[in-house]
Structure 1
């Protein structure tokens, strides 16, 4: 199936070496579709950020927002187009800031309500736009968010992007702890959950082309957007077979309710990896954590992306150097868009506001960065007690 694709990449394939054996020359070669910010500062340490594009139009959108008292990370893996993931990038953080100021603190409810406001806003956009852009009703996005504030980590997730914590073990080895659950029909527990929620629908999950899909269409069970799978008013014209439902929608088959995890950061918690599923398709949690643990901080997100690309190339029996010659769009047959943010935790910086850290907003694949809205957090009660 992919023989014609491999021919356009190179006339002669050679075996690819595993990521652990990459040499410096290979590692330093430029990839026109790979963007990175090697190292930046946040309120509790440093971060590294990288994105590689595979689709004709980049569907991953992402951001890191830093300020003296808090850090925000967002990874938004779009599908059906980039409208939903871009909308989340432009609105979710603003909702979080507004709600935090109104409540005077950060809490699970604040994070949950920020997700809800973002979902409502995007569905309003769909309602306004669908007459001129009908397929916007089929656009959606996974949404993974992390917030560090006052020594507490909040992680919220919809879909199958993933947050992994690197934790130091008793023998000074690194242990990968997955903090999020993949909301994907490939998981047996997700299929069981869907069947229990829809006992009268024998087609709620269907195996199609060797992949479990909800209504035979989509793999993720939670998202922002995908309006046609949530509300009957957004039904797509049946002449578009890709989004055709076997029967009219009676109730939502997808959810926008995030799973939220809260943790007071401990001295053995060393770093966090936030990444879209394009990374986890090629690296295990433990492989990724060991790469972060064993290599210098600067450029570590880029190193993780390249490790995944080496593995994607190996699976096609080609070299990474040849994979980089494949154009966007066609490259999607080899790997997905991949976004990675690595956040290092320096515990001596968790005790109070780090006034040397600027308000900064960094967006993946956007070279310019600007001020963050974290300065408006001044309205949050500085004496609020730590949430445990």
Structure 2
């Protein structure tokens, strides 16, 4: 059985009934491959994140959207991504990497349109964005697509000396320039800009502004023409761009689920900054369903 334990914000672990610090949570609910639960703990004054699960007899969709700069992008993704997945999957005969890429692309395109319409009355919307983590299960196949540094980790069973253990298998890519490989990727795309990634306020940031290299939104870092827009220039200090410094192209993995795959943890970076993949998986594994322990982020 595959159990989904996901959440979108700052973290805590509680047994059922001890819902301190939680904005809301759900008990275990069934989906096509097992059970899932969701919980939200509001870490910031303003809730900028969203999460959702859609279940049907044939498929399960999971979304974790970690907003920044405001809630508009994560709310927009929450309303648009799943309908586009359903639309394109129906048109193309089922889920595929191409279907997922088209759904991400259309969501990004629609948000750009919203930004253009909203700019005269709300210019700050051009600097709003959201990380986006998608999981989809159909016909015993798991699809994972990711923008930003939210993460999905699989708990997989193995036997050692006749004892059952669990290993953590990371299934997504963190698009965060704190990772040296991601920094090199960004630098390679901008060989003429020696300051494309700089160390600022204790962390690595693209143009000294943002840590993630992929997102929905963050239009002012993707569209050089916004730097020249007189309305947006009145808002803050937009940086001059020769080319986009971020992208909405997701990393996608496809995996056929196996009998030793026990559960998945979907979470934004608030959890992974506090716990290693192994520690999170170990907690979920050690507290079985009968004990009713949830993973909150």
Task: Give the TM-score normalised by structure 2.
Answer: 0.89
Cα separation, 1, equivalents of 2:98 and 2:63 = 18
**Aligned counterpart for 2:66 among listed residues 77, 80, 86:** 77
Whichever structure has more helix as a proportion of its residues is 1
**Aligned counterpart for 1:218 among listed residues 200, 207, 210:** 210
Structure 2: gaps spanning 5 or more residues: 1-11
Q: Is the 8 A contact 2:176 2:212 kept in 1?
A: yes
Equivalent residue for 2:264? 272
Q: Is the 8 A contact 2:195 2:207 kept in 1?
A: yes
Cα separation, 1, equivalents of 2:112 and 2:197 = 24
Report the CA distance shift for 1:303/1:106 in structure 2 as closer, same or farther (over 3 A). closer
Equivalent residue for 1:304? 295
Quick one: higher RCO (CA 8 Å, sep 6+), 1 or 2? 1
Q: CA deviation at 1:29?
A: 3.8
Equivalent residue for 1:166? 155
Equivalent residue for 1:256? 248
Q: Secondary structure of the equivalent of 1:144? A: strand
Cα separation, 2, equivalents of 1:87 and 1:169 = 40
Please identify runs of 4+ aligned residues in structure 1 that moved more than 3 A. Answer: 27-30
Cα separation, 2, equivalents of 1:58 and 1:104 = 37
Whichever structure has more strand as a proportion of its residues is 2
Larger Rg: 1
Deviations along 1:219-250, whole A, 9 cap, x unmatched?
00000000000002323426614xx32xx211
Report the CA distance shift for 1:239/1:137 in structure 2 as closer, same or farther (over 3 A). closer
**Aligned counterpart for 1:154 among listed residues 128, 135, 143:** 143
Cα separation, 2, equivalents of 1:298 and 1:77 = 30
Pair 1:231-2:187 in alignment: no
Equivalent residue for 2:39? 50
Deviations along 1:63-108, whole A, 9 cap, x unmatched?
0000000000000000000100000000000000000011011111
Equivalent residue for 2:124? 135
Report the CA distance shift for 1:146/1:201 in structure 2 as closer, same or farther (over 3 A). same
Figure out how many residues of one structure are paired with residues of the other and give that number.
Answer: 279
Cα separation, 2, equivalents of 1:274 and 1:208 = 29
Backbone CA RMSD of aligned residues:
1.8
**Aligned counterpart for 1:186 among listed residues 178, 183, 188:** 178
Cα separation, 2, equivalents of 1:141 and 1:125 = 15
Task: Give the TM-score normalised by structure 1.
Answer: 0.69
Pair 1:205-2:197 in alignment: yes
